[in-house]
Amino acid sequence: MNTPLVDPFQRAIDYLRVSVTDRCDFRCVYCMSENMTFLPKKELLTLEELDRMCSTFIGLGVRKLRITGGEPLVRRNIMTFFRSMTRHLDSGALRELTLTTNGSQLERFAEDLYAAGVRRINISLDTADEQKFADITRWGRLPQVLRGIDAAQAAGLRVKINAVALKGFNEDELFSLTEWCASRDMDLTWIEVMPMGDIGNEDRLDQYWPLKDLRARLAERYTLIDLPERTGGPARYVRLEETGQKIGFITPLTHNFCESCNRVRLTCTGQLYMCLGQEDMADLRPALRNHPSDTRPLQEAIRAAIARKPKGHDFDYSRQTVDGQMPRHMSHTGG
């Protein structure tokens, strides 16, 4: 039972992304509707169950654990979970513990995260304009996030900014965001907007800004040096010769790079999605809850799920329709 997780296409699965809550203190227009209906709290895995679940994956060869949401830091007592995962870093079983956050709670938790062994974090930030930030997040306040970035860097955390490329919204900030990140010694990754969840009146096609166009604009001002690094994910990286920073491009729509996918996603309710862009999932809760003192059923359920991991997803905007749209919200699956 200790042999590594390998899917049907001989990809080693060593990266688990875990949503610890579907709740968030923002309501970003491309992610959630303004009046979201969240899951009843009793349906969420407890922190103890999340520990057992993640520890089982680590025992099966997962070496990188990314905590997501919703906004993971709004979950009550979440630092208890981070501190419990520290033992796997100390033992060497886990290579990296990290998280993706909107930055709103980092002023409170940055030092605790570093103490728990977190060294790198991703912060989702689509604009550095205070009014536009308020508009796109609906509930968010940019100064609070900026204080969180300050706190994270002061604590010793390496910060990477994730920005969703949105046509007509942050196109005019391409160069200013780049320069701002460079001035703070932060790398920047651009992400194509993904067709997930009912977001009300927002039109995905109106939002869609292809990253090939974004990259071409960057090349008008900077010298882009392609980097060979591969993480198993959809990102491809360049270094800007003029600033020295790394710029990433995540293109699930125009080029998905599924052939090297090394990750799976666990929801806050215990469903394992083997592919972000497919609806097939495995409910791991029965194996977890029906056998509290025996990990073998959970291990078997995980292996059976990995055996169903598909070759890739089928997001596609090329025909001016949102083919491959997923009805579930990103906040449920985990970003």
Check the annotation: does 54 bind a ligand: no
Q: Is 17 annotated as a binding residue?
A: yes
Q: Annotation-wise, does 19 bind a ligand?
A: no
Q: Would you say 87 is a known binding-site residue?
A: no
Q: Is 27 annotated as a binding residue?
A: no
Q: Which two tokens stand for residue 57?
A: 């994956």
Count other C-beta atoms under 10 Å from residue 172's C-beta: 12
Sign (positive/negative) of CA torsion 191, 196, 199, 205?
positive
Asked whether the beta carbons of 164 and 193 are under 8 A apart, the reply is: yes
Distance CA 55, CA 28 (A): 32
Whole-angstrom distance, CA of residue 43 vs CA of residue 41: 5
147 is in an annotated binding site: no
Has 217 been labeled as part of a binding site?
no
Is 160 annotated as a binding-site member? yes
- The residue behind tokens 């899917």 is 7
SS3 category, 94 = coil
The annotation status of 194 as a binding-site residue, yes or no, is: yes
**140 marked as binding residue:** no
Dist CA 66 CA 183 (whole Å) = 26
Give the whole-angstrom CA distance, residue 322 versus residue 320.
7
Q: Do the beta carbons of residue 124 and residue 335 sit within 8 Å?
A: yes
Check whether 18 is labelled as a binding-site residue: no
d(CA 189, CA 248): 4
319 annotated as belonging to a binding site for a ligand: no
Whole-angstrom distance, CA of residue 294 vs CA of residue 156: 39
Instruction: Show binding-site residues for GTP.
Output: 17, 66, 100, 160, 263-265
Instruction: Show binding-site residues for [4Fe-4S] cluster.
Output: 24, 28, 31, 258, 261, 275
Instruction: Show binding-site residues for S-adenosyl-L-methionine.
Output: 30, 70, 124, 194
Instruction: Show binding-site residues.
Output: 17, 24, 28, 30-31, 66, 70, 100, 124, 160, 194, 258, 261, 263-265, 275
